[in-house]
Amino acid sequence: MSLFGLLPLLRDQAEYKEMLANLRQMVASAQPTESLPAMALELPQSVRPFALAALQQDWAGPILVLTGRPERSRDIVEQLHVWSAQPASARLFPAPDALFYDRPGWDPQVVQSRTSLLSALTAMREDPSRAAGLVIVSSLWALMPKSAPPSALRRAMRRIATGQIITQYDLLAQLVNAAYEAVVVVEEPGTFSHRGSIVDVFPTGAELPIRIDFFGDEIDSIRLFDPGTQRSGERIDEGLLPPASEALPEWGKASAAALARLDLSACNPRTRQRMAEEIEQIGRGVGISALEYYLPYLYPRPATLLDYLPKGTLILIDDMAALESTGIALANQALSLRADMVRDGDLPEGFAVPYFSWADLSARLRLRPTVALGYGMDEKPSRLGQIFAPAPAFGGQVQDALGEVHALHQQGQRVVLVSRQSERLADLLQAHQISLAPQDSLPEPPAPQTVTLVNGVLAEGCALPSAALTVLTDSEIFGWVRQRRHALKPRQSAPESLFADLKTGDYVVHIEYGIGRYHGMVRKSLAGLEREYMEIEYDSGDRLFVPVHHSDRVSRYLGADDREPFLHRLGGSEWAAVRTRAEKAVRDIAKELLELYALRELAQGHAFPQDTVWQHEMEAAFPYVETDDQLRAVEHIKTDMELPRPMDRLLVGDVGYGKTEVAIRAAFKAVMDGKQVAILVPTTILAQQHYYTFRRRLRAYPVVIEMLSRFKSDAEQSEIIERVCAGQVDILIGTHRILSRDVSFKDLGLLVIDEEQRFGVTHKERLKRMRQEVDVLTMTATPIPRTLYMSLSGIRDMSVIDTPPENRVAVRTLVTQFDESLIRKAILREMDRGGQVYFVHNRVRDIELVAEDMRRIVPEARVVIGHGQMHEDALAQVMLGFAQGEGDVLLCTTIIENGLDIPNVNTIIIDRADAFGLSQLYQLRGRVGRGIDRAYAYLLFKPPLTDIARQRLETIQEASELGAGYRVAMRDMEIRGAGELLGAEQHGHIAAVGFDLYTRLLRHAIEELQHSAGEQDDSVRRAQDLAAGEALALDLGPSIDLPLSAHLPHEYIPDDPLRLRLYRRLARAHTQEEVEALASELEDRFGPLPEPVSNLLYILKVRVLATAASLTALRAEGQEIVLQVPETLPRALCDTIASRCAGCQARGTHVRLKLGPGWQQDLLLVLGLLASPHTR
């Protein structure tokens, strides 16, 4: 969405032209100024992005906009993208997400954005023409840290081109010195990998990584590649490799002497040891994760963003008072933190100051002409601010707003409406004789006496009376403001990252031999043939060596808990018995699910009509952009509701992924048809949350919403129940109280159940009866593994939302020992950005003592307490008060697992995290990161850690990406999710055979039952018949043993985990096309295929054909290849094989092929004949 067509209306104003002339004259003089700023434009805050976009077109050089706070910088950039004719040239210079003197390394995205912009400015010095139109928006917080000087970044920048002579060693050394990180697979900016003649690099600031292919010491080719598929595409002639950080390891050697002079004697032992190790590494030029911490030492003359700005840069200050007060406050906070850390031994006494003070920066700003966008001090103001007027606001009174639009139109005004509800507005304007179609952008100025409707988001409207222009937004018309954030680029992962890494010592399940312990990859030579195997240990120390092309028969064991499984005995009968029991169990559950599905298809229910106009209006008023998963779930639910049978759909979504909005739309649809809706939740707090959410969303419509909970007196509850019985309440929200016998709905049409597994047996029986009568939507935040979801698709009505909402940022997770200094910094950082903190301490007996400690550690913070032993009303009041900003820190037990959704809480500190289960840690971490800001989770522990606790904390830290609840790393959550979906009795079978094999068996059972049921009319009877049948026969494909050295050589792919993941991908190739695609990919990513790799791919092609031909085995015997088929071959086929293949003999159930020249082609020919339906 763009409004740049309105810019000419402002640029044509005399006051704008006068202001522009004054600015040019002031910058041309380039004289240092006594006052700061030198000029004030006095623009209203809402029009500053509009004026900035105009200046962007008319200013010959770059523009720097300085704000007091980081969030204000983001807001300006986002609005500038709407107004600007060059949105890509409006860039944010982000603030580090760490306080001064903070230990954790800066967020990689922040590092990338800052370094990318500084590198671009460095390049612009060589070509100043490229700086025209560049607008940089920076907060003072972003400006203060000491950074690399331009000369250092220029020295680290490298340009490469095809035909260039450079050794791979030199290029790799340059990348390391420029702070690039060596990885196995390049997926993110600032990383590189090296394989044979190929170097992959993801340059800072680039859209795509590049693949550099060497021929000796010459660059033979440079290609862009997709980090998601790892496949290369477009060839380019040259590429730029900017540095990947402001903290460059190559400068560490020069700083070694200064760092060595630091007196660490007064530091505590942990800090002394850590800093001594880091200083030693820095002195060797090694890049460390916390190198930004030592930035003030790396460079003799550290710089700031101001040092990168070319001559002629215009500096605009958003709010002078806010800038100055922020500078002083940040410096005071840094001094306080420094004193605390020195006192606690966390910082050496003489450590260099890592930032420029406000006095330093204001002195530098005085050397350049600066202008205040808002109000200055004593400067003569520009007349520009006087030509704007505020847009009229209507506070949600839509008819009043439409009447004003009509009046302005009649007066000859240009009226521009910017709305996410453009379709709705177009319909409403029809009643005022204004017909128009929404458009996505406004490339030209609208004519006078026109109304233009633009689909999009703008924070605030404005008026420019002299140009007869009025801009109105959702804020003025509907009374709400949606702060739209630009979508973050999703992380791309290589295809093989979907396969969990197996580590030596992990438990695995072989589909034929049972549970064993993985001992890594081994290479063996047999009869002169070299191959690679997975080594698995079984009971009594027995070893099984699994050929890599059969690695799909092995899966990681995921059990029901942390207990170690028993190893099975090779050749024993125990595994067969266990698997048989599991196969029967999956048949039973598959049969039950199919029966329920068939019965539900026959049941009679209410068919809701198609959506009403109000339904479209209500959905259009959603102040966010729906994810595709959300829209798909809404479509599924509406389709179910419109069918003449009761709906019973499960909606699965991670915490904060938008399930409630889906439920609101379903509820509104039911109400629009005159039906009542019941929303059942497990706790009073959740009932209150849903009550507020539903009322806020539906306030514009005549929908009566009530709540039954302890917040209501007995008299109020009786009055609500009477109205429910009389049909005077449309939506009733409550806990299990609404299942009581005295609550009787007049015409219930939809029941929404939030987290059904948390209700008791009695309640579930009541729900079971209700399912036969009304539509039911059940919601859960417990992850359902994708494999299980795929197994059940088609027999269980289920919708999954696993896409995070727009701009949701993954929670940054830090695992560390309990540290009062760290706690103080974490809380102050959150308070500095206006946020709140959860501190989880799960022992009620000493929670008051912890509160005293918290008030001592952070006296600036308001600490409130909430725990499960409080009376429910008191707890609810604390939670609601905290949600309304009454407190900075909520010291609580795990009750927040199911607490209020508070987007303002973006830091959680979990005390003694080692005592929590994995699923609990995951759920607790999910309570933060609900908004648009980066959230932090601190998992504190006290040493020593048990192995299990350490693994658990490592797992939760590694699984930090969004939607990680769906990943295999969340092993205990997956089992819990399976139990909720399939029933607790299935836990034992999952534990016995492992989760992966269980889901494969279940999928196979369902497919077999469905296939057989499809052959008869009575699906229920057929399912029952099949349920008593034989054990399931999973198709494992033929056993193949050919006289070929077939493997991925270590020299070709040195990284063992990557090689195993690739083996597993190769083993799952089921068509010739998939094998060919993998061959092409391997050559693209790793270079020309060595002979063992070509042989491995050949065996995969053989396996595809052998499976299609239903072979049971294919093996080498002496000087022959023997192919075994399950049934006697037809005589005609035997004759065909003999005639087409000279060295072949076919008889009975065998085909024999002589090992001679060309045998590999002959084998493919024979397999093709056996697999062909025409020859059989």
pLDDT per residue as tens digits for the range 1100-1140 = 999 999 999 999 999 999 899 999 998 899 999 999 999 99
Integer CA distances (angstroms), 545 to 411, 520, 521, 541, 1100, in order: 86, 10, 9, 13, 19
CA atoms of 133 and 129, how far apart (whole Å): 10
Q: Give the whole-number percent of the chain exceeding pLDDT 90.
A: 48
Closest alpha carbon to 905 in 923, 884, 921: 884
Closest alpha carbon to 400 in 334, 348, 320, 477: 477
CA atoms of 901 and 894, how far apart (whole Å): 15
Closest alpha carbon to 488 in 150, 262, 804, 955: 804
Q: How many of the other CB atoms lie within 10 Å of CB of 389? A: 14
- Mean pLDDT of all residues in 898-902: 70
CA atoms of 242 and 869, how far apart (whole Å): 57
Specify whether the CB–CB gap between 313 and 62 falls below 8 A. yes
Residue 724 tokens, joined? 């429910």
pLDDT averaged over every residue in the chain: 85
Residue 1161: is its pLDDT beyond 60?
A: yes
Q: Give the whole-number percent of the chain exceeding pLDDT 70.
A: 89
CA atoms of 1146 and 303, how far apart (whole Å): 81
In the structure, what pLDDT confidence band is assigned to residue 899 with cuts at 50, 70 and 90? low
pLDDT tens by residue, 91-122: 999 998 877 888 777 888 899 999 999 999 99
Closest alpha carbon to 3 in 104, 69, 83, 119: 83
- Where residue 796 falls (left for φ over 0; alpha for ψ -120 to 50; beta otherwise) is beta
CA atoms of 871 and 685, how far apart (whole Å): 12
Residue 226: is its pLDDT beyond 50?
A: yes
Helix axes 320-343, 358-366, angle to 10 degrees: 150
Specify whether the CB–CB gap between 424 and 701 falls below 8 A. no
Give all strands (DSSP E) within 177-217, no chain letters. 181-182, 191-195, 198-201, 210-215
What are the boundaries of each domain within the chain? Answer: 4-150+297-385, 158-241, 389-477, 503-544+552-572, 598-801, 812-961, 1039-1171
What are the φ/ψ torsions at residue 623 (nearest 5 degrees)? -80, 25
Across 252-266, 489-503, 631-645, 706-720, the highest mean pLDDT is recorded for 631-645
Closest alpha carbon to 106 in 290, 347, 305: 290
Is 1032 strand, coil or helix?
coil
What are the φ/ψ torsions at residue 799 (nearest 5 degrees)? -120, 135
CATH class of the 503-544+552-572 domain in this structure: mainly beta
CA atoms of 445 and 9, how far apart (whole Å): 7
Residue 987: is its pLDDT beyond 70?
A: no
Strand order in the sheet with 543-547: 543-547, 529-537, 514-526, 507-510, 554-556
Across 211-225, 931-945, 976-990, 1038-1052, the highest mean pLDDT is recorded for 211-225
From the options 3.20.20.70, 3.40.190.10, 3.90.1150.50, 3.40.50.2300, give the CATH code of 1039-1171.
Answer: 3.90.1150.50
Specify whether the CB–CB gap between 129 and 85 falls below 8 A. no
pLDDT at 518: 93
Residue 981: is its pLDDT beyond 70?
A: no
Residue 501: is its pLDDT beyond 80?
A: no
Strand partners, 666: none
Is it true that domain 812-961 has CATH number 3.40.50.300?
A: yes
CA atoms of 1119 and 1108, how far apart (whole Å): 25
According to DSSP, the β-strands at 936-941 and 812-817 are parallel
CA atoms of 444 and 5, how far apart (whole Å): 4
Residue 831 tokens, joined? 């308070």
Question: Residues in the chain, how many?
Answer: 1176
Residue 698 tokens, joined? 């539906």
pLDDT at 1014: 57
Integer CA distances (angstroms), 435 to 423, 452, 699, in order: 12, 10, 27
The answer to whether the peptide bond before residue 242 is cis (omega within 30 degrees of 0) is no
pLDDT at 1031: 39
Specify whether the CB–CB gap between 551 and 562 falls below 8 A. no
pLDDT at 428: 80
The fourth-level CATH superfamily of domain 4-150+297-385 is P-loop containing nucleotide triphosphate hydrolases (3.40.50.300)
Across 74-83, 253-262, 1062-1071, the highest mean pLDDT is recorded for 74-83
CA atoms of 77 and 299, how far apart (whole Å): 31
Residues 6+ apart with CB under 8 A from 656: 805, 808, 901, 926, 929, 930
pLDDT at 1174: 64
Residue 642 tokens, joined? 């419109």
Residue 467: is its pLDDT beyond 80?
A: yes
CA atoms of 709 and 726, how far apart (whole Å): 20
Architecture of the domain spanning 389-477: 3-Layer(aba) Sandwich (3.40)
pLDDT at 561: 59
pLDDT tens by residue, 389-406: 999 888 777 788 888 999
- Mean pLDDT of all residues in 896-916: 85
Is 235 strand, coil or helix?
strand
* Identical fold between 389-477 and 1039-1171: no
Is it true that domain 598-801 has CATH number 3.40.50.300?
A: yes
In the structure, what pLDDT confidence band is assigned to residue 888 with cuts at 50, 70 and 90? very high
According to DSSP, the β-strands at 676-680 and 731-734 are parallel
Is it true that domain 158-241 has CATH number 3.40.50.300?
A: no
CA atoms of 965 and 987, how far apart (whole Å): 19
Written as one string, the DSSP assignment of 585-632 is HHHHHHHHHHHHHHHHHHS------SPPHHHHHHHHT-SSPPPHHHHH
Specify whether the CB–CB gap between 611 and 810 falls below 8 A. no
Kind plus residue range of the DSSP H or E element containing 462: strand 462-464
**Rg of the chain over all Cα atoms, to the nearest angstrom:** 34
Specify whether the CB–CB gap between 316 and 63 falls below 8 A. yes
* Alpha-carbon dihedral 613, 615, 621, 627, rounded to 10 degrees: -130
pLDDT at 17: 95
Residues 6+ apart with CB under 8 A from 665: 615, 618, 619, 634, 637, 638
CA atoms of 506 and 511, how far apart (whole Å): 16
Kind plus residue range of the DSSP H or E element containing 89: none
In the structure, what pLDDT confidence band is assigned to residue 492 with cuts at 50, 70 and 90? low
**CB-hemisphere CA count at 13 Å for 416?**
32
Alpha helix segments (H runs only) across 127-166: 140-143, 150-156
pLDDT at 1027: 36
